[in-house]
Chain A
Amino acid sequence: MQGNIASAEGAIAAGCRFFAGYPITPSSEVAEQMARRLPKVGGKFIQMEDEIAGIAATIGGAWTGVRSMTATSGPGFSLMMENIGYAAFTETPCVVVNIQRGGPSTGQPTLAAQGDMLQCRFGSHGDYSTIALAPSSVQEMFDLTVKAFNLADRFRTPTFLMADEIIGHLRERVEFPDTVECIPPRPIREGKLPFEPEEDLVPGFTPFGHGHRVHVTGLTHNEKGYPASTDPDLHEKLVMRLIEKVERARHEIADYDIQNPDAEVVFISYGVPTRSVRQALLDAPEGLYGHLNLRTVWPFPENLLKKFPNARVFLVPELNMGQMAREIVRHCDQPVISLPRLGGELHTPRYLLDRAEEYR
């Protein structure tokens, strides 16, 4: 099965019943599969007039309490940015699948990249935080889409599946479990205001049509949900809570695997370059190199760097100019060597071993 199809199937399995989007290479198969599948499971698919409308309708759908998703790639992702900020600020649980392609601009529609890793964290104006997952196999396209819905609901924040053209179009064997774990958003407790946080800083959810009579606005709002955009303290407190509710859960929601934690030269990767790193480790003498594969990229789980006590250097192969390497530099004393690869092709295992050899 193809990666994009697996993501759509993961969404259906997770109970997603509303999809609004706009076709764009290399993500269109996600929309096509949702168009085929949703009517058969009692859901609704709608093709909107552009990606701005795609994310807007997704947010509208999410506020009716239906699990909602959109899918896109580079140019469409750029168009979505304003409303992604709206979703973050209004604490709307929704999932955005980004099958990354080469940019900037129209760039390389049919080739892979990881150039939107900072955009998914910082792309909308103002301060906020988001959750981003990075699949490196077709199985993970399914599994992490399910996970994205659970995280979006739990933290009430837009959650991104940051895949790429290679994984999106890759065909691999996939196993669908009979059932998947679907954890609905926590309902609001009696007596609580619609935007009054619980202890974990996340408010209970108040979907439309259930008598909550909630006012949702992209203006700075108080816990009632009412506009209060000229109160400096209130704004600061709200923005800090939205960041903190995600960031302080970063160790708990970290999803990763580790190979050879005693190694001195350690690769850190996420998404498709993980496949090249794994092959490189198989080709190298056993135990020589370490590897940290991140499935949760944002919030960045910086304590994982400590799992390599002997690390002298971190090598970070990415299909961009070192976007996550910049983040890793912030959290460790060792040198962080960015191994950028642009143009749509993967680092070869040979290339990675040659670079690692230089730091042995």
Chain B
Amino acid sequence: MTVEDWFRHDRLPHIFCAGCGNGSIINSTLEAVDSLDWKVDETVFVSGIGCSSRAPGYIVTDSLHTTHGRALAFATGVKMANHDLNVVVFTGDGDLSAIGGNHFIHACRRNIDITVICMNNQIYGMTGGQGSPCTPTGALSTTTPYGMDEAAFDLCELATAAGANFVSRWTSYHVRELTRAIRYGLQKPGLSFIEVMVQCPTNYGRRNRLRDVEAMISVMRDNAILKEKYDRLVTERKPIPEGSFVVGTLTDRNLPALGVRR
């Protein structure tokens, strides 16, 4: 098989806007899945509601496009009822950390053997650009017209604290690194959480002086600090650049996991 064989070609054209980064993430995921020789008929993609959650509809496997925030609870049912299925969840920052926050914490605590890929565009893209728990402080959205005055969630810290075995963050710019991280996560027993910072020019960039897709991607590239570099800066007591965020493998451990195929 090739990556192309994993797509449902009769679903095209897709709904993603021009300049959206979700397609790169779906591509990376399918490349990782294909490189492991996973079988189409032993693989299930599960999602909630939002732009990210439309991804399973374009993939040829069995797939479950569920209710807002509940993807992880549905996925837990699929994996617990049949350990032999490979289960991958696509979700977004609003779906996972707002309405689905409780399921996120508990899926990580159970360390259930699924891979969760969160497309974090820091906004509710599908519904027109409302603020999410990951909208940066000060950023504009349709529900934060004077700037977001709340703090944003660090989803990776949350996943680590709650008990996930593998936690990694990359961006839609870091395609090769992302593919490698997903490939590693897919093989790792327990819950693998991969957060991907992704550009939404339509509903985030437009309101935050990042209208240009290239500019959005450049900002992600320039502000991403490798975990190793971040650790070095901390050890050397040097300042962490403002607006930066850490990418790389943030957690990799072997806590007891649930639902692992025997």
Q: Which secondary structure characterizes the binding site on chain B?
A: helix
With A52-B73, A209-B85 known to touch, is A215 a contact of B78 (CB < 8 Å)? no
Cβ–Cβ < 8 Å partners of B94 in chain A? none
Report whether A213 and B62 are in contact in the complex, using a CB–CB cutoff of 8 Å: yes
CB of A213 within 8 A of CB of B61, answer: yes
Chain A residue at smallest Cβ distance from B45: A215
Q: Which residue of B lies closest to A68 (CB)?
A: B81
Q: Is the CB of A216 within 8 A of B78?
A: no
Add 15 more A-B contacts to A46-B77, A86-B66 (CB < 8 A): A18-B77, A48-B76, A50-B102, A53-B76, A53-B103, A56-B67, A57-B73, A60-B74, A61-B80, A64-B78, A83-B66, A208-B44, A208-B85, A210-B41, A215-B65
> By the criterion CB–CB under 8 Å, are A58 and B82 in contact?
no
Interface residues of B in 100-118 (CB under 8 A from A): 102-103, 105-106
Size category of the A interface is: 35 or more
**CB of B60 within 8 A of chain A?**
yes
Q: B73 contacts A64, CB within 8 Å? A: no
Chain A 18-29 interface mask (CB, 8 Å, partner B; 1/0) = 101000000000
Chain B nearest Cβ from A319, distance in angstroms: 31
- How long is the Cα–Cα vector from A58 to B57 in the complex, in angstroms? 21
B66: chain A residues within 8 A (beta carbon): 56, 59, 83, 86, 218
Given A49-B103, A208-B62, verify A86-B85 contact (CB < 8 Å).
Answer: no
A219 at the interface (CB under 8 A from B): yes
B80 / chain A contacts, CB cutoff of 8 Å: 18, 20, 44, 46, 57, 60-61
Most buried by B among A46, A65, A86, A227: A46
Interface presence of A234 (CB below 8 A): no
How far, in whole Å, are A356 and B64 apart by their CA atoms in the complex? 53
B67 surroundings in chain A (CB, below 8 A): 56, 82-83, 86, 218
A191 to chain B, nearest CB (A): 17
Q: Is the CB of A213 within 8 A of B70?
A: no
- B77 touching A209 by the CB < 8 A rule? no
Contacts of A210 in B (CB 8 A): 41
Q: Does B157 contact A (CB under 8 A)?
A: no
Does the CB pair B102–A59 fall under 8 Å? no
Contact in complex: A216, B41 (CB < 8 Å): no
Residues 14-50 of B contacting A (Cβ, < 8 Å): 40-42, 44, 46
How far does the Cβ of B84 sit from chain A's closest Cβ, in whole Å?
7
Contact partner of B75 (CB less than 8 A), chosen from A50, A60, A211, A219, is A60
Q: Tell me how far the C-beta of B51 lies from the nearest C-beta in chain A, rounded to whole angstroms.
A: 13
Which residue, of B60, B63, B73, B75, has the highest number of chain A Cβ atoms within 10 A? B73
Interface residue? A217 (CB, 8 A): yes
Contact A61 B60 (CB under 8 A): no
Interface residues of B in 54-98 (CB under 8 A from A): 56-57, 60-67, 70, 73-82, 84-85
Which of A17, A49, A60, A82 touches B77 (beta carbons < 8 Å)? A60
Q: Is B56's CB under 8 angstroms from A60's CB?
A: no
A306 cross-chain contacts in B, Cβ below 8 A? none
A83 to B74 CA separation, bound complex (whole angstroms): 10
B interface residue count range (under 10 / 10 to 19 / 20 to 34 / 35 or more)? 20 to 34
Contact in complex: B81, A64 (CB < 8 Å): yes
- By CB atoms of chain A within 10 A, which of B11, B70, B81 has the most? B81
B85 proximity list for chain A (CB < 8 A): 64, 208-209
B41 touches A52 (CB 8 A): no
Q: Which residues of A contact B74 (CB under 8 A)?
A: 56-57, 59-60
Question: In chain A between 172 and 222, which residues have their CB closer than 8 angstroms to a CB of chain B?
Answer: 208-219
> Can you name 21 A-B pairs with beta carbons within 8 Å?
A18-B81, A46-B77, A49-B73, A53-B76, A53-B102, A53-B103, A53-B106, A56-B74, A58-B77, A60-B64, A60-B77, A60-B79, A63-B77, A64-B81, A64-B82, A208-B82, A210-B41, A213-B41, A218-B66, A218-B67, A219-B65
- Known interface pairs A20-B77, A61-B81. Does A212 touch B62 (Cβ–Cβ under 8 Å)? yes
Question: Across the interface, do B65 and A48 meet the contact criterion of CB distance under 8 Å?
Answer: no
A111 close to B (CB within 8 Å): no
**Min distance, Cβ A307 to any Cβ of chain B, angstroms:** 41
How would residues 33 to 66 of chain A score, 1 for a CB under 8 Å from any chain B CB and 0 otherwise?
0000000000010101110110011111111111
B8 within 8 A of A: yes
Q: Which residue of chain B has its CB nearest to the CB of A86?
A: B67
Q: B47: nearest residue on chain A (CB-CB)?
A: A217
Q: Which residues of A contact B75 (CB under 8 A)?
A: 60
Smallest CB-CB A-B distances: 5 pairs: A60-B77, A57-B77, A61-B81, A56-B73, A53-B73
Taking CB atoms and an 8 Å cut-off, the chain A residues in 278-332 that contact chain B are: none
Q: What residues of chain B lie closer than 8 Å to A48, measured between beta carbons?
A: 73, 76, 106
Point out the residues of chain B lying under 8 angstroms from A122, CB to CB.
Answer: none
Q: A208-B44, A209-B44 are in contact. Are A44 and B81 (CB under 8 A)?
A: yes
Chain A 111-159 interface residues, beta-carbon cutoff 8 Å to B: none
Q: Which residues of A contact B78 (CB under 8 A)?
A: 60-61, 63-64, 208
Residues of B close to A65: CB separation below 8 A: 82
Shortest beta-carbon distance from B250 to chain A in Å: 24
B247: min CB distance to chain A, Å = 30
Considering the chains assembled together, what is the distance between the CA atoms of A208 and B65 in angstroms? 13
Give A46 to B82 CA distance when docked, in angstroms: 13
User: What is the CA–CA distance of A52 and B105 in the complex, to the nearest angstrom?
Assistant: 15
